[in-house]
Amino acid sequence: MNLTIYVWRQKNADDKGKMEQYEAKNISHHMSFLEMLDVVNEDLTQNNVEPIAFDHDCREGICGMCSLVVNGTPHGPERGTTICQLHMRHFSDGDKIYIEPWRARAFPVLRDLVVDRSAFDRIMAAGGFVSVNTGGTPDANSLPIPKNNADTAMDAAACIGCGACVAACKNASAMLFVAAKVSQFASLPQGQAERKARVTNMLSQMQLEGFGNCTNFYECEAACPKDISVKFIAKMNREYLRASCLKD
């Protein structure tokens, strides 16, 4: 099939940027969205045009690097799917597709579709870790964890930190991302030692990075490729209240 794509092109962080039109020709229905972009880039290269810059790594929906807004929706039209796992069979011959980067002050555009998401790294560095010395690898059954807690931790740990929640939110809030990380550790015995400091430090860093506040529109949950539930935001709020009430 043949498609017309409109892509955000921006030379660097200081460039104003603009949408440019390209033709994606002879695209197979079996291709992934990123493979389609690869084909377009091959044609651009052959015609001495600078290829489209975009982030990717595993192409298996694990790493969270792929970060594109397709026709106004982060990661495209299929729910619970990263852009690297979105296949062209979900589009039709002759379609027009608009491709943009994440739009958030805390995610400045570096070039074309590539944004700087190091703000997430700084939030994690503020408290998204367990520093207790756990020694060698323990036996799986040596530290009993209630099944409900284990399930909650696993559900939260599914977050791949792609930033789709930020791109979907009208306030560019990172609450769903932070909530998933806070909830993951708060549900496990290993995360109890730093439980109070973790939630306060991560939320403080989130504010410093320039992310907005949550106003409960739930767009973050709808756009999340791993279906992270907004229930974790409620859990994080409880964690924050608990930490505030238990301050020394």
Average pLDDT value for the chain: 94
pLDDT tens digits, 131-169: 877 667 767 677 788 999 999 999 999 999 999 999 999
H helix intervals, 105-146:
118-127
DSSP per-residue letters across 197-243: HHHHHHHHHHHHHT-B---S--HHHHH-TT---THHHHHHHHHHHHH
- The answer to whether the beta carbons of residues 180 and 232 sit under 8 Å apart is yes
The structure tokens listed for 201 are: 């430090």
Of the two residues 176 and 145, the one the predictor is more confident about is 176
End-to-end distance of the chain based on CA atoms, in angstroms? 64
User: CA nearest 134: which of 192, 201, 186, 90?
Assistant: 192
Provide the pLDDT for residue 86. 97
Q: Are strands 96-100 and 69-70 parallel, antiparallel or unpaired?
A: antiparallel
State how far the alpha carbon of 157 is from the alpha carbons of 180, 182, 197, in Å.
7, 10, 19
Structural domains in the chain, sorted by start: 3-110 (3.10.20.30), 117-245 (1.10.1060.10)
What is the tens place of the pLDDT at every residue in 198-245? 999 999 999 999 999 999 999 999 999 999 999 999 999 999 999 988
pLDDT of residue 140: 65
The phi, psi pair for 156, rounded to 5°, reads -70, -35
Rounded to whole angstroms, the Cα distance separating 104 from 220 reads 14
CA distance 112 to 228: 28
* pLDDT tens digits for range 22-50: 999 999 999 999 999 999 999 999 999 99
Encoded amino acid at 49, one letter? V
Is residue 93 scored above 80 in pLDDT? yes
Q: Whole-angstrom Cα distance, residue 153 to residue 89?
A: 34
Return the pLDDT at 122.
98
Q: Which amino acid is at 158?
A: A
pLDDT tens by residue, 94-110:
999 999 999 999 999 99
Q: In this predicted structure, what is the pLDDT of residue 61? A: 95
pTM, to two decimals: 0.93
